[in-house]
């Protein structure tokens, strides 16, 4: 494993600044870590800096009427055990249960599953059927885009 600086920002602005300071290929983002930690250990990624999202306000599951907003760092296990989600979006709950083991779902996040774009990103097809959108945050603000 290569050495790197671990940064745990307390705000979105701090996270963006840490990523910007590391340069375009100098940072990796850590949410659940199910893929990143293995990549670091096996040398597939060698960032100078790892930016942890642990302290950011994205570990959420919020209902507004029939609409659901899922924070990108919420563990998948929280989705499969939420009774409202199971009742209102049974296809999503079933797809979440198909991702790895229970232990993995305690760490894995919806954001990681979507942005990783790996063949095992099992949740993208069901999110497409639900017309899901993603809020992307960057140095010029945030925007919503369809999955």
Question: Could you please report the per-residue DSSP string of 46-72?
Answer: --SEEEE-TTSS---EEEETTEEEE-T
| pLDDT score of 91 | 96
Same domain, 106 and 142: yes
- pLDDT bin (cut points 50, 70, 90) of residue 139 is confident
**31: pLDDT strictly greater than 80:** yes
Number of domains making up the chain: 2
| pLDDT score of 120 | 65
Sheet (strand 27-30) strand order:
5-7, 49-52, 27-30
Spatial distance between the Cα atoms of 141 and 31, rounded to a whole number of angstroms = 20
Write the pLDDT tens digit of every residue in 98-133.
Answer: 999 999 999 999 999 999 877 767 899 999 999 999
Same domain, 136 and 67: yes
Same domain, 10 and 33: yes
| Residue given tokens 């990143």 in the structure block | 36
Write the pLDDT tens digit of every residue in 2-29.
Answer: 789 999 999 999 999 999 999 888 999 9
Are 125 and 131 contacting, i.e. CB atoms less than 8 angstroms apart?
Answer: no
Reduced to 3 states, what is the DSSP secondary structure of residue 10?
Answer: coil
| pLDDT score of 25 | 86
Among 14, 32, 52, the domain boundary falls at 52
Sign of CA dihedral 116, 34, 15, 12: positive
Same domain, 86 and 136: yes
Structural domain that includes position 91: 61-146
CATH of the domain at 26: 3.30.43
| pTM, 2 dp | 0.89
Same domain, 47 and 111: no
């Amino acid at each position: 494993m290569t050495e790197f600086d671990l940064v745990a920002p307390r705000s979105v602005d701090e996270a963006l600044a840490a990523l910007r300071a590391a340069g375009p290929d100098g940072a990796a983002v850590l949410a659940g870590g199910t893929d990143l930690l293995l990549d670091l250990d096996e040398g597939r990624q060698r960032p100078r800096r790892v930016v942890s999202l642990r302290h950011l306000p994205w570990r959420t599951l919020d209902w507004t009427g029939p609409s659901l907003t899922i924070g990108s760092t919420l563990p998948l296990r929280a989705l499969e055990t939420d009774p409202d989600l199971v009742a209102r979006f049974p296809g999503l709950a079933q797809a979440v249960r198909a991702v790895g083991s229970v232990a993995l779902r305690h760490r894995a996040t919806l954001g990681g599953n979507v942005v990783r774009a790996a063949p095992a990103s099992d949740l993208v097809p069901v999110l497409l059927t639900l017309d899901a959108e993603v809020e992307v945050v960057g140095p010029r603000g945030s925007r919503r885009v369809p999955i």
